[in-house]
Amino acid sequence: MYLHFYERILGSLIQDPTFALPFWNWDHEDGMAIAEMFKDPESPLFDGLRNVHHLPSNKPLDLRWDRVTEDKPFERIRDDNYARVYELMVSGAQRRLEFFGPKYRAGDPPPAGGGGTSERLHNMAHLWTGGHNQQFGEDMGNFYSAGRDPIFYVHHCNVDRLWNVWKTIGGFRFDFDDYDYLNTSFLFYDENSDLIKIKVKDVLDPQALGLEYEDRPIPWRNSRPVPTAANAARTATAAAFGGPITSPSAFPLVLEKVTTVMVPRPKKGRTAKEKSAASEILVVEGIELEGDKVVQFEVVINDDPDNPSGPSNSEFAGSFLNIPHVHGNNGHNKFVTGLRMDITELLEDIGAENDDQIQVTLVPKKSDGPVTIGGLKIEYSS
């Protein structure tokens, strides 16, 4: 909705009703770097608060950026990016609840499961683009200020495009039909300064808004991760992957170091029919943190805790990243959220479908504040 009215206003200002915003095609290797049009200091598209280390044309957006490493080879970033998009669009987003996140109605507390994969898909571009030397990561690195950077709009155009692509992959990938969702309304000013009420159901079909996305190759569609040698060779017998094991009774705990825990599986050896009826979800619950802090950690399954895998390996289950969205005197507001990861395909790939339990390792990355983990469990999403 925001982009729709923004686009109409810009078209009106330049007297071109056919004007369309471009999208930042960061899910393809040709579009991962920041476009040249945003780098001219004399251009209104320039923002001096971007991370200067990420402006060169040979610096692709790194969807696994740890806020430390800046010298990864392009090919490694590209391959990991494709694997991450595959995880967040395909294997980890087989159902709408996982793509969009749990229901969130007015008056409810924030959903315990956190946002969906569509939110996680979108977050890193904010952190990576934002100013690394700004107190709150301005502009792109903080939600309160992100809209000040023109690149915000082309980034979100791509997020909307990927929402549209997601619905074409098939299976159970379609929008919610909940009445409250469809009829939730928002107010925006249009190009004539008139206040317009618009509902969710009005924007689910891009063509109804006069939108059509340029066709682009989607190489990540065939970027299914592969298991490490240890899992590729293993039998159905449960394997030990090293490292000290933390007792479930230790939770909640502050995640200060690599932490490994055994998580029981309520069901094992599920049939294809059972998998089609319900996805197996690993839930990290009770994630407590301060809203004005960058917090991030990764999750791997049946992997070496001393050398955890990255997105290109099947053992990589997903990651958590909090983008600051408050500032100044509004900071230090603690909130509790969660992380849901569809591991149905992952368990197939690492040969763990018949295991009674899985070894889950939480790998903290550079964060600006503490994060407490309430616990881990397996549930099923139909």
pLDDT value at residue 218: 98
Tell me the pLDDT band of 236, cut-offs 50, 70 and 90: very low
Mean pLDDT of 275-301: 96
pLDDT value at residue 151: 98
pLDDT value at residue 242: 81
Q: Which of 286, 199, 203 is nearest to 248 (CA)?
A: 286
Cα→Cα distances 214→3, 128, 158, 195, 211, Å? 16, 25, 11, 30, 10
Q: What is the DSSP string of 105-147?
A: -TTPPPPTT---HHHHHHHHHHHHHS-TTSTT-TTTTSTTTGG
Tell me the pLDDT band of 113, cut-offs 50, 70 and 90: confident
Q: Tell whether the model's pLDDT for residue 237 goes beyond 50.
A: no
Q: How many angstroms from the chain centroid is the CA of residue 235?
A: 32
- The kind and range of the H/E element at 348 are helix 344-349
Cis-peptide, bond into residue 252, ω within 30° of zero: yes
Tell me the pLDDT band of 58, cut-offs 50, 70 and 90: very high
> Position of tokens 């991962």?
32
Q: Tell whether the model's pLDDT for residue 111 goes beyond 90.
A: no
Query: What pTM value is reported for the model?
Result: 0.96
pLDDT value at residue 331: 53
Number of other CB atoms surrounding residue 192 within 10 Å = 9
- What's the rounded Cα separation, in Å, for the pair 326 and 121? 21
Q: Tell whether the model's pLDDT for residue 222 goes beyond 90.
A: yes
C-beta contacts of 141-147 below 8 A and 24+ residues apart: 141/294, 141/323, 141/324, 142/323, 142/324, 142/325, 142/327, 143/323, 143/324, 143/325, 144/325, 144/326, 144/327, 145/327
Q: What is the pLDDT of residues 6-52, one digit of tens each?
A: 999 999 999 999 999 999 999 999 999 999 999 999 999 999 999 99
Computed over every residue of the chain, the mean pLDDT equals: 94
Q: What is the pLDDT of residues 63-93, one digit of tens each?
A: 999 999 899 999 999 999 999 999 999 999 9
Instruction: Give residue 347's identity as a one-letter amino acid code.
Output: L
| Residues 76/58, Cβ–Cβ less than 8 Å | no
- What's the rounded Cα separation, in Å, for the pair 365 and 297? 5
Q: Which two tokens stand for residue 99?
A: 């793509």
- What's the rounded Cα separation, in Å, for the pair 131 and 51? 4
Q: What is the pLDDT of residues 189-216, one digit of tens each?
A: 999 999 999 999 999 999 999 899 999 9
Give Dmax (Cα) for the chain: 68
pLDDT value at residue 329: 55
How many CA atoms lie within 13 Å of 258's alpha carbon, on the beta-carbon side? 16
Q: Tell whether the model's pLDDT for residue 238 goes beyond 80.
A: no
| Residues 2/10, Cβ–Cβ less than 8 Å | no
- What's the rounded Cα separation, in Å, for the pair 293 and 270? 40
Mean pLDDT of 125-136: 92
Q: What is the pLDDT of residues 332-364, one digit of tens each?
A: 688 899 999 999 999 999 999 999 999 999 999
Mean pLDDT of 177-197: 97
283-308 exposure pattern, b = at least 16 Cβ within 10 A, e = fewer: bbbbbbbbbbbbbbbbbbbbbebeeb
Q: Which residue has the higher pLDDT, 331 or 231?
A: 231
Mean pLDDT of 243-254: 95
| Residues 357/263, Cβ–Cβ less than 8 Å | yes
> Position of tokens 């100044």?
328
pLDDT value at residue 330: 54
| Residues 324/292, Cβ–Cβ less than 8 Å | yes
% of the chain surpassing 70 pLDDT = 97
Q: Exposed (0-12), middle (13-18) or buried (19+): which is 71, by Cβ within 10 Å?
A: exposed
Q: Which residue has the higher pLDDT, 291 or 188?
A: 188
pLDDT value at residue 263: 98
| Residues 48/149, Cβ–Cβ less than 8 Å | no
